[in-house]
Structure 1
Amino acid sequence: MLGERVAGCAARSCGGHQPKTIVLLQGSKAESRHTETGKLLKLKAMLRREFRDWADFSKNMRWEIVYVQHPYTRLFERWKRYDRTEVLKKGGKTDDEYNERQTAHGAEQVFWETEVDQYAMKIVDDLLAALIVCLNAR
């Protein structure tokens, strides 16, 4: 019954095409660590470089961030705070360039607050060991 309902909802999804979600994993030992708009801007710039047509592909995409924590740490009690990076006016930059950077940081803060879902999970020892082996094999 549930599978039929999910399939039916997927078939009727927005305008006939499947909604898209990007799931990002971040390993963390800390109980909380906050991030800034500048880091999200850098991540998005990297995604634009690595994926053809990223701007079109990522339109209306939901973002999920899963914080994967060591089994012996306490899970986050609060979601990560997202601070706006202080934008400094650098020498040689015009007022328009400065204002454009300010606007970009403001837009990323709104994006984080409205389009990003956060989850936390602990990783079990066996899986953690397997991941370490895989990473070291590179």
Structure 2
Amino acid sequence: MPLSMRFFFPQFPAEFEIPDDWWTDAGMAGFMPSAPTYLAEDAASCAISLRDIAPPFRNATTPKDFRGFDRVRMVSVLTAISNGTSLPPVSLIAIPKFDALYRPYSFGLLDGMHRFFGSIAAGFDAIPSTVREPFQ
């Protein structure tokens, strides 16, 4: 098992890992965010707090390179973040608010799992997003 760095979700009592060599290969050693989000390709996207997005389920047994992550995709995302290269926004769906006590999250992730986890690992507070309303 490779050595890995641990990162904590902003509003969920859990953590995830990214292998150290992926982090280093992406040029993330010593990275400090200078903005609330990574640079987005779509100027029409909006910044959504990572605290407001339900952590997506990752199956650690999925045949990926490391605990549900694809090495090429994650290193590509982290490299873009470290270089300041633009990335597409993630796609979210608004979660209906029937009872705030049981719905601590406002959005669910439809597309962009590696960008979501990469943003948390990079220390961003928010993520560029496009939002779809439910039942559309």
Q: TM-score range by the shorter chain?
A: under 0.3
TM-score by length of structure 2 reads 0.25
| TM-score in terms of structure 1 length | 0.24
Instruction: Select the structure that is richer in helix.
Output: 1
Larger Rg: 1
